[in-house]
Structure 1
Amino acid sequence: MPHRLRRWGLIAAALTAAALFTIPTSATERATMIEQLRIYEIFESNKEAFHARFRDHAARIMKTYGFDIAAMWEARTKDRTEFIYVLRWPDEATMRQSWARFMQDAEWSAIKDRTSAEHGRLVGGIEERVMQRTSYSP
């Protein structure tokens, strides 16, 4: 139970911090805008390789497909190490289309293959939450 509480505490902190980075400028943007929380299990044995791949390649390629990364964190619990980040999207359709294009990107595919061959599996489980702000969210 403490593990779960700690995990949700980290998620709450991540969402609070992400909220500080996102200020919709119109009522329409507020109504359709979404944020996406991504949590990757990463491994202590090769986490530096994961961070290098995300920092030097994934984030750069994501940007070409319209990804707007609000913030990134690393969190460690008793059981695992996590890489957490929040993305901002104008709407869910854009999010889905951008992810599909990113996952089909030839450069990204080659980088994943190369880094996995060099360092082993860099990502374990992946969790995702697609979130829409409440009408009373700051």
Structure 2
Amino acid sequence: MLHELRIYRCMPGRLADVARRFETTTLALWKRHGIRQAGFWTVYIGQDSQDLYYLLEWENLAEREHKWNAFASDPEWLAAKAETEKNGPIVAAISNQILVPTAFSAMR
């Protein structure tokens, strides 16, 4: 099992818009494409209070490539993304890392 840590640095004041897009649109599309999320987080105490963190679960890199590419090119996603960004971008930057569990990790 692989996990992908994705961090969305939101435009100032747009974290709620990003969260709303996930909650109302993105998660349903992910479900249709078979993309599994392990969780979402925002910063409660600390720096980067405009960041959204989340983990995706993948069996392997081939599954990630197939499912993520299908999602990213889905016309419904492209339309929703355009609609939510009609007043300008809501995400300033995205970073991601593919993580593998250690032998002592509770998540495998």
Which of the five TM-score ranges fits, normalised by the shorter chain? 0.7 to 0.9
- The aligned residue for residue 29 of structure 2 is 61
Residue-pair matches, total: 105
Which of these residues, 102, 105, 108, is aligned with residue 137 of structure 1?
A: 105
Q: TM-score, normalised by structure 2?
A: 0.87
Deviations 1:6-63 (A, max 9, x none): xxxxxxxxxxxxxxxxxxxxxxxxxxx1111000001342222211111110111011
- 2:93 is aligned with 1:121: no
Q: Which has the larger radius of gyration?
A: 1
Identify, as 1 or 2, the structure richer in helix: 1
Percent identity between the two aligned chains: 28
Equivalent residues in 2 for 1:1-138, closer than 5 Å = 33-75=1-43, 77-78=46-47, 81-117=50-86, 119-138=87-106
Gaps of 5+ in 2: none
Shift of 1:134: 2.0
More off after superposition, 70-79 vs 57-66: 70-79
Compared CA separation, residues 44 and 95, structure 1 to 2 (3 A): same
Distance (whole Å) between structure 2 residues aligned to residue 79 and residue 86 of structure 1: 17
- Identify unmatched segments of 5+ residues in structure 1: 1-32
Q: CA deviation at 1:101?
A: 0.3
TM norm structure 1: 0.69
Greater percentage in strand: 2
